C-alpha cells in the first residue's frame, strides 16, 4: 500500500525515519514520501526528509515541555505550513497517509489528532494514526497525555494502529536502547504490511492488496498488528505446521497490543518464497484466526518475498474491547486523578481558615 508518512514529535520523527530506512533496505517502494513536524528544532536535525518547525513564534524552537494542550494549539495555528510541505507528495498513486506519533509527549500527542482531522478534511484517501503508548514506567504525565491523545486520535483518524511500548521492552535495557529496538520491531511489521500487494517478486496465488488492508480497518477505532517468523522448508507441504505456529505466535505473543484478540475484522498475510507457502496452511490459519478473534470478517492471502523464512502478519481492526487497552486507560485515569490531588494539596490555604484552624496548638 503506497503511503506517505508524517512523523509528529520526537518519537514520531524517529519512527518515521526507521520506517523509511526499512522500506529502502527491503526495496519495497511502498513509502512514497515522509515529513517530520515538531516544536523542538533539535529533534528535527538529522532526519533524512523534509522537516517543519511549528510554533516558532510561541516556543522559539524549544518544544512544549510535555504540554499536549499547547502542542495541539500550535499545530492548529501552523497546520498550513505542514500542508505546504505535503504539496506534490500526495500524488494520484498514494493510497493512504500515516500520522506517526508517540502518544505520551507534548507535540506528538497534542498535534497528531489535530493534523489527522485536517488531513481527512482535505484528502480523499484514508488517514491512519500510528501511535505509540508509553510504558508503565514512563511517568504519570505520559500516561495522562497518552490517554487523552489516544481517545482523540482514534476518533479523528480513519483508524489508529496502536503499539504498546511494554510489549517490546526487555529487562535491563536503557530507555534509548529500548526505543531503538521498539522502532525496529514496528518497522518490520508495518513495513511488511505496507509492502503487501506491491509488485516485489513473484505473483501471489491469493492476492493481498491495499484494498484488503483498507477494508480490515474500515470500521475505524483501534487496530493492532502481530508478527512472527520461522525457518521455511523448501517444500510447501512441510510448512503447513510452520504457518499455523507463526500465526498463533503473531496473534498471541507477537502483537503490538498484547492480549488484544477480540476483533471486528482481521487480515492474515503469509510472506515468503512463493513455492514454500502452503495454500492449505494459509487457509487453515485463516480459519483459526476467525475462531480466535470471533470475527466473521477475516481475510487472508500470501505475499511472495525472497527469503529463507516464512513470516506471518495478523492485522486486527476494532480491538477496543481488549483487556490491555482497558488496563492502560485505567492507568491513565488513575494518573490524572493522582495529579489533580497533588495539585489540590499544593494550593495555599485561605489565611482566615489557617488562623481559626484547630490543627495548630496555641502558644499560650
pLDDT at 164 over 80: yes
Contact 134, 165 (CB under 8 A): yes
The predicted model gives 248-260 an average pLDDT of 94
Query: Which cell goes with 340?
Result: 489533580
How many Å apart are CA 171 and CA 35, to the nearest integer? 33
Give domain 3-195's CATH superfamily.
Answer: Tubulin/FtsZ, GTPase domain (3.40.50.1440)
Query: Which cell goes with 108?
Result: 506528538
pLDDT at 335 over 50: yes
- Look at the alpha carbons of 2, 181, 155, 13 in this order and tell me if their dihedral is positive or negative: negative
**Residue 205 confidence (pLDDT):** 61
pLDDT at 201 over 70: no
pTM of the model: 0.90
The predicted model gives 49-75 an average pLDDT of 96
- Binned at pLDDT 50, 70 and 90, residue 364 comes out as very low
Check for a shared fold between 3-195 and 224-317. no
- Binned at pLDDT 50, 70 and 90, residue 357 comes out as very low
**Residue 170 confidence (pLDDT):** 66
Q: What proportion of the chain, given as a percentage, has pLDDT over 90?
A: 73
Contact 240, 288 (CB under 8 A): no
How many Å apart are CA 110 and CA 76, to the nearest integer? 10
The predicted model gives 301-307 an average pLDDT of 90
Domain coordinates of the chain in residue numbers? 3-195, 224-317
pLDDT top residue among 171 and 108: 108
Contact 178, 185 (CB under 8 A): no
How many Å apart are CA 251 and CA 293, to the nearest integer? 9
β-strand 127-133 against 159-164: which pairing, if any? parallel
**Residue 360 confidence (pLDDT):** 37
pLDDT top residue among 144 and 363: 144
How many Å apart are CA 118 and CA 328, to the nearest integer? 27
The predicted model gives 33-38 an average pLDDT of 98
Which class in CATH covers the domain with range 224-317? Answer: alpha beta
Question: How far is C-alpha 284 from the geometric centre of its chain's CA atoms?
Answer: 29
The predicted model gives 220-231 an average pLDDT of 96
Amino acid at each position: 500500500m503506497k503511503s506517505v508518512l508524517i512523523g509528529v514529535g520526537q518519537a514520531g520523527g524517529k519512527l518515521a525515519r526507521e520506517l523509511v530506512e526499512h522500506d529502502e533496505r527491503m526495496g519495497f517502494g511502498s513509502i512514497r514520501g515522509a515529513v517530520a513536524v515538531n516544536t523542538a528544532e533539535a529533534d528535527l536535525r538529522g532526519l533524512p526528509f523534509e522537516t517543519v518547525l511549528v510554533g516558532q513564534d510561541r516556543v522559539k524552537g524549544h518544544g512544549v515541555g510535555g504540554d499536549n494542550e499547547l502542542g495541539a494549539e500550535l499545530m492548529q495555528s501552523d497546520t498550513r505550513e505542514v500542508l505546504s510541505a505535503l504539496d506534490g507528495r500526495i500524488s494520484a498513486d498514494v493510497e493512504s497517509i500515516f500520522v506517526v506519533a508517540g502518544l505520551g509527549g507534548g507535540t506528538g500527542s497534542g498535534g497528531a489528532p489535530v493534523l489527522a482531522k485536517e488531513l481527512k478534511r482535505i484528502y480523499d484517501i484514508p488517514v491512519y494514526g500510528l501511535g505509540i503508548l508509553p510504558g508503565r514506567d514512563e511517568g504519570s504525565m505520559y500516561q495522562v497525555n497518552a490517554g487523552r491523545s489516544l481517545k482523540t486520535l482514534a476518533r479523528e483518524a480513519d483508524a489508529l494502529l496502536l503499539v504498546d511500548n511494554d510489549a517490546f521492552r526487555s529487562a535491563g535495557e536503557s530507555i534509548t536502547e529500548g526505543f531503538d529496538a521498539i522502532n525496529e520491531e514496528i518497522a518490520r511489521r508495518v513495513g511488511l504490511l505496507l509492502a503487501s500487494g506491491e509488485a516485489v517478486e513473484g505473483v501471489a496465488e491469493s492476492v493481498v492488496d491495499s484494498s484488503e488492508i483498507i477494508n480490515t480497518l474500515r470500521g475505524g477505532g483501534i487496530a493492532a498488528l502481530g508478527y512472527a517468523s520461522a525457518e521455511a522448508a523448501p517444500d510447501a507441504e512441510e510448512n503447513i505446521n510452520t504457518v499455523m505456529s507463526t500465526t498463533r505466535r503473531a496473534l498471541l505473543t507477537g502483537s503490538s497490543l498484547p492480549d488484544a484478540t477480540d476483533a471486528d475484522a482481521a487480515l492474515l498475510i503469509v510472506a515468503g518464497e512463493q513455492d514454500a507457502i502452503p495454500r492449505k496452511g494459509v487457509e487453515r490459519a485463516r480459519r483459526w484466526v476467525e475462531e480466535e478473534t470471533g470475527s466473521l470478517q477475516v481475510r487472508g492471502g500470501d505475499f511472495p518475498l525472497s527469503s529463507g523464512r516464512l513470516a506471518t502478519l495478523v492485522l486486527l481492526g476494532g480491538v477496543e474491547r481488549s483487556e490491555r487497552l482497558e488496563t492502560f486507560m485505567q492507568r491513565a485515569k488513575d494518573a490524572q486523578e493522582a495529579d489533580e490531588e497533588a495539585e489540590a494539596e499544593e494550593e495555599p490555604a485561605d489565611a482566615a481558615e489557617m488562623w481559626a484552624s484547630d490543627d495548630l496548638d496555641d502558644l499560650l
